[in-house]
Amino acid sequence: MASAAGGPKKSVEAEEAGDPTGDASITGADRFKPENAHKIDPQGINAHKSRGGKRGEGSLTDCSDVAGVVFSTKKMDGFNQDGPRKPPHKLYPLAEKAKADAHKHVHAVRALTNEDGEAGVIFTPSRMSGDRYRLRAYIGPPTTAGHGAEVGATQVTTGTLVIWRNLRFSRMIKQGLSATPDAKLLKEGQAKPYELADALDYLDTAGAVDAGAFVGLSTVRLDDPDPGNGIFSSVPLHFAPAFLEVEFDQAGFETLAADEYKKARRQGADDAAAGQSKFALNLDIDALYWMDQDFDPGTAVVCLPMRSPESYNKKVGIFSSKKLKFAGKVLDDDTKTAVVGLSRSRALNGFLRVLTKDGALPGLTLMYSGLGYTWQVLLGGRISGIAKDYRGAFLWCGNRTYTNNWTIPGGFFPYDCSSNGSHELGHIMFQPHGFAPGTAGGPIAARHDPESDHICVMSYGKCNGMFCGLTLLAFRGWDVPQPPA
C-alpha cells in the first residue's frame, strides 16, 4: 500500500493503533524464538479485522486472538455434535481456548481426544487471498508438560498455507477483422463528408494499419508462465500478485460466429429501441443499426454496424419524424451525443447480453474487436474498450495501437494489449479509473496508490501495465476505500 502522508497506509495504521500487532522492537530471527511467542502476532502480515480479515481480534497473550476466530469453538453437526448430518467418526470433544502461560500455549486452542484417541479442530481461516497460516499440533497438558516448541516435543508442523482465490473467465471472444471491410460500410466511409480513401484508410481508424499495411488485431496473452518481453505481463500474471488464480473455461480465444453475431446485433438494437426515449430520441433503430442487412463479423470491423447520419436520413426520408437533426450540413452536436450515449449504454449492453447469457455464465467475458460501432470510424470518439453490465467487457483497437506504446520512441499508448484487456477486466471487478490527466470516466485517486508510488493500469498513465497495491488489495478481498457517493 502507498506510504504517502494521508494515504491508505496511514489510514490503516491509525485504525490498528489500539489492536494487538506485536512488539515491533523484536525483529529478524528473534521473532521466531519460542520465548517471544506471546509478544509476536503470528498474523502480522494478514488482513486486519478493519479490512475484513481476522488479524487484530482479542489479545496476543490469552489465546483470544485465535479461539473463535481462526479456530472454531462452536458445535457443528457431523463433527462434534449429533444432528441431521451424521459424522463418520465418534464425536470429537469441542475445542476451547488454550490456557496460556507466558510464551507457552499462546495463539492456540486445545481439544481433548474422543474414546478412539482422535481429536479434531475446525480451522476457519480468513477469506482474504494472500493471508497465510502455519499450524502446529502437539500433545500438551495434562498429558505432557510440553508446549510444542521445545526440543523433542511431540508435535507436527505444517508448511505455510496461503489463501488463494479463483478468478474465472467463461469466454474470451475475438471478432475477426478482415483486410477488406464490407462494401456497404466502406462506400459510406468514402462518401462526403468522411472521404476515407480506401479500405486501408477505413481500417486505420481502428488502429489496424501500420506504415500503409494491414496489421489486424493484436494479441491478448493468456500464458502462465508468461514468455513475454519482460515489460508487460500476460493476463494471469496481472492478477497473480493479488493471489488470484485465473481459470479459463476454454483454451484461448474463440472466434465470434456469424449466427451469434447476428443474434447479438439484434439484441443490441432491441435494447436501444427500448431505451432511446431516455436519450430524448425517436429513431428508426433498425435502420440506424443496419438491421435490414446481415454482416460478416470479419468484414464489419465493429460490433454494431451503423449507417452514417446522411445515409440514415436518406433511408427514413427527409420529412420523417424519425430523422436525425442536422445544423446545416453537419450533424447536430446534441443529437450526436445522444446517439453515442444510446450506442454505448444500451446497444452494446444488449450485444453483450447474448455473449454472456444475460450475465448467467459462471465467469467473466472479454469481447475483442476492431471498434464498438461504426460512428467511431466516421465521427471519431475512438476508445480502446469499455466495461458493461452482464459481467463482460469490450476490448477494441488493432495491433498498431498497442505496438505503438511508450517503449518505442514516439510511442503514445500507455501499455500493451494484454494490459489493456486486464484494465477492462478490472472494471468488471468494480475497480475505477486511476488518476491520470484526461482519464475516461473521471479519475478516483482515493481508490489507488499515489501516482508517485505506482501508476496503476486502471489509469491511462504510461506504466508497465500492472495493478497498483490498493487495487490488488481490493482483488484480495480487503475492504479498501470506496469512491465518493
Is 54 inside any structural domain? Answer: yes
Tell me which of 120, 135, 163 is where a domain ends. 163
Q: What is the pLDDT along the chain (485 residues), one digit of tens a residue?
A: 333 334 444 444 554 444 556 788 888 888 888 899 999 999 988 999 999 999 999 999 999 999 999 999 999 999 999 889 888 999 999 999 999 999 999 999 999 999 999 999 999 999 999 999 999 999 998 888 889 989 889 999 999 999 999 999 999 999 999 999 999 999 999 999 999 999 999 999 999 999 999 999 999 999 988 776 678 999 999 999 999 999 999 989 999 999 999 999 999 999 999 999 999 999 999 999 999 999 999 999 999 999 999 999 999 998 999 999 999 999 999 999 999 999 999 999 999 999 999 999 999 999 999 999 999 999 999 999 999 999 999 999 999 999 999 999 999 999 999 999 999 999 999 998 887 655 566 667 778 888 778 889 998 888 888 999 999 999 999 998 765 54
Is 179 inside any structural domain? Answer: yes
How many whole angstroms separate alpha carbon 389 and alpha carbon 371? 18
Domain extent at residue 27 = 1-163
How many whole angstroms separate alpha carbon 365 and alpha carbon 257? 16
On whether both 94 and 242 belong to a single domain, the answer is no
State the pairing for strand pair 302-304/371-373. parallel
Instruction: Indicate the DSSP class of residue 81.
Output: B
Stated pTM of the model:
0.89
On whether both 32 and 176 belong to a single domain, the answer is no
On whether both 153 and 283 belong to a single domain, the answer is no
On whether both 240 and 116 belong to a single domain, the answer is no
Domain count, the chain: 2
Instruction: Indicate the DSSP class of residue 452.
Output: T
On whether both 224 and 319 belong to a single domain, the answer is yes
Is 435 inside any structural domain? Answer: no
Burial code (b: 16+ CB inside 10 Å, e: under 16) for 41-65 equals bbbeebbbbbbbbbbbbbebbebbb
Cβ atoms 168, 362 nearer than 8 A: yes
Burial code (b: 16+ CB inside 10 Å, e: under 16) for 390-406 equals bbbbbbbbbbbbbbebb
Is 469 inside any structural domain? Answer: no
On whether both 280 and 324 belong to a single domain, the answer is yes
Is 48 inside any structural domain? Answer: yes
Is 450 inside any structural domain? Answer: no
Q: Kindly report the number of other CB atoms within 10 A of residue 454's CB atom.
A: 23
On whether both 154 and 183 belong to a single domain, the answer is no
Is 251 inside any structural domain? Answer: yes
On whether both 371 and 258 belong to a single domain, the answer is yes
Tell me which of 105, 129, 163 is where a domain ends. 163
Is 400 inside any structural domain? Answer: yes
Tell me which of 107, 135, 163 is where a domain ends. 163
On whether both 304 and 422 belong to a single domain, the answer is yes
Half-sphere exposure of 317 (CA within 13 A, CB side): 4
On whether both 304 and 371 belong to a single domain, the answer is yes
On whether both 171 and 157 belong to a single domain, the answer is no
Tell the residue number behind the cell numbers 505481463, with chain if given. Answer: 233
On whether both 139 and 176 belong to a single domain, the answer is no
How many whole angstroms separate alpha carbon 117 and alpha carbon 437? 67
